[in-house]
């Protein structure tokens, strides 16, 4: 009897590599380097006033789908949803660590540029409406479906303090980070810029 090449371990599916999700707006490495050069370098301005509620999330994007459900459908494989848009089946490959999951509860929707990082790099001066647009931005590479505990490990860290486990994803990660900061005119610290430069040099 021939055994399947697919293995199951702690809820993850280990099989032939699934295609990685590709949110819109990821620049080429050369464009990302140009965008990075144009960012303002400044010390983080942590005024102690950050609150997650200052960035309203999971707006309705289309039909009955909120932002989380929209990204789960966009970034998954063979995703089927119910009338409420919540996935009933499908699989998700987390680009940060390469793990594939079949339960949406194992997937977090990560903000590429974390909300607190945005706050300390300029978003503290925005209106709540603008922060809401940022937190639900599906037009740029800001929202990613990733393994939940990997997202927890990242937390609100910038690339000088945390990088995805998959080094092969460094190029895309840094390109997406820079694209988001460039569009939203957010600053970077010198350490952050140095880390992004190193990651872009892996492209």
pLDDT of residue 27: 97
Q: What tokens appear for 129 in the block?
A: 């409406």
The domains of the chain are located at 7-19+27-200
What would the mean pLDDT of 9-33 be, rounded to a whole number? 71
What whole-number distance in Å separates Cα of residue 92 and Cα of residue 110?
14
Taking alpha carbons only, the member of 31, 33, 168, 169 closest to residue 112 is 169
- pLDDT digits 0-9 by tens, 94-103: 999 999 999 9
| pLDDT, tens digit (0-9, with 9 covering 90-100), for 114-129 | 999 999 999 999 999 9
Q: Which of 141, 149, 70 is nearest to 105 (CA)?
A: 149
The gap between the terminal CA atoms of the chain, to the nearest Å, is 43
How many C-beta neighbours within 10 Å does residue 53 have? 8
Residue 19 pLDDT level (bands cut at 50, 70, 90) = low
- Taking the C-alpha atoms of residue 50 and residue 47, their distance in angstroms, rounded to an integer, is 7
- Strands (E) in the chain, as ranges, are 7-9, 12-14, 60-62, 65-66, 77-81, 87-93, 100-101, 107-111, 143-147
Q: Which residue has the higher pLDDT, 20 or 46?
A: 46
Q: Which residues pair with 147 in a beta bridge?
A: 107
Percent of the chain with pLDDT over 90: 89
**pLDDT confidence of residue 7:** 35
Tell me what pLDDT residue 69 has. 96
The per-residue pLDDT for range 153-202, each reduced to its tens digit, is 999 999 999 999 999 999 999 999 999 999 999 999 999 999 999 999 99
User: What's the mean pLDDT in 56-62?
Assistant: 95
Work out the mean pLDDT of the chain and round it to a whole number: 91
What pLDDT score does 22 carry? 81
Q: Which two tokens stand for residue 152?
A: 């927890």
């Amino acid at each position: 009897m021939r055994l399947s090449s697919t293995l199951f371990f702690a809820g993850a599916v280990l099989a032939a590599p699934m295609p990685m999700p590709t949110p819109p707006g990821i620049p080429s490495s050369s464009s990302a380097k140009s965008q990075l050069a144009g960012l303002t370098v400044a010390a983080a301005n942590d005024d102690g006033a950050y609150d997650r509620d200052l960035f309203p999330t999971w707006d309705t994007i289309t039909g009955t789908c909120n932002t989380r459900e929209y990204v789960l459908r966009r970034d998954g494989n063979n995703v089927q949803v119910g009338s409420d848009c919540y996935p009933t089946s499908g699989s998700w490959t987390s680009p940060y660590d390469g793990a594939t999951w079949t339960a949406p509860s194992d997937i977090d929707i990560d903000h590429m540029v974390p909300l607190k990082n945005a706050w300390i790099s300029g978003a503290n001066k925005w209106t709540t409406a603008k922060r809401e647009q940022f937190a639900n931005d599906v037009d740029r590479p800001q929202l990613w479906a990733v393994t939940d505990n990997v997202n927890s490990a990242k937390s609100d860290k910038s690339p000088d303090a945390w990088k995805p486990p998959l080094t092969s994803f460094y190029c895309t990660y840094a390109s997406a980070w820079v694209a988001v900061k460039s569009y939203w005119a957010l600053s970077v610290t010198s350490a952050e810029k140095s880390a992004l430069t190193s990651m872009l040099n892996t492209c």
